[in-house]
């Protein structure tokens, strides 16, 4: 499995894990909330919202277009801290840690 296929599989796993733990929303945040320029949109979105509405779509786009994947990549520490009290936080963190490890591979 190449890096793009592995990334696609992890994106699907992350979405499924978030849905399984009721962290998936049906209504998107406002355009203003999505337009945040802060890392992880920390000033306008909860961690699960950032994953669903910003991270997953951007990663899907990179994979679908065959664009370079990020190499300086680390989201797991943020997810671990931000979701430590959330339902399914550990499961979501585990998938994000896999993303970090995948992106570090050459």
Residue 7, φ and ψ in degrees, nearest 5 = -60, -45
29 backbone dihedrals φ, ψ, rounded to 5°: -65, 170
Domain range list for the chain: 3-22+41-104
Q: 24 — phi, psi (to 5°)? A: -105, 130
Rounded CA-CA distance 99/26 in Å is: 24
Radius of gyration of the chain (CA): 13
CATH of 3-22+41-104, one of 3.20.20.140, 1.10.8.290, 1.20.1440.40, 3.40.50.300: 1.20.1440.40
Q: pTM of the predicted model, to two decimals?
A: 0.94
Average pLDDT (14-33) is 96
List, for residues 1-16, the tens digit of each pLDDT value: 699 999 999 999 999 9
């Amino acid at each position: 499995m190449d890096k793009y296929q592995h990334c696609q599989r992890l994106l699907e796993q992350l979405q499924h894990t978030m849905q399984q733990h009721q962290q998936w929303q049906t209504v998107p945040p406002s355009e203003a909330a999505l337009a945040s320029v802060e890392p992880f949109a920390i000033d306008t979105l909860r961690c699960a919202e950032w994953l669903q509405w910003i991270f997953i779509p951007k990663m899907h786009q990179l994979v679908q277009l065959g664009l370079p994947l990020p190499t300086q990549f680390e989201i797991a520490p943020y997810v671990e801290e931000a979701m430590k009290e959330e339902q399914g936080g550990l499961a979501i963190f585990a998938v994000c840690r896999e993303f970090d490890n995948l992106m570090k591979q050459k």
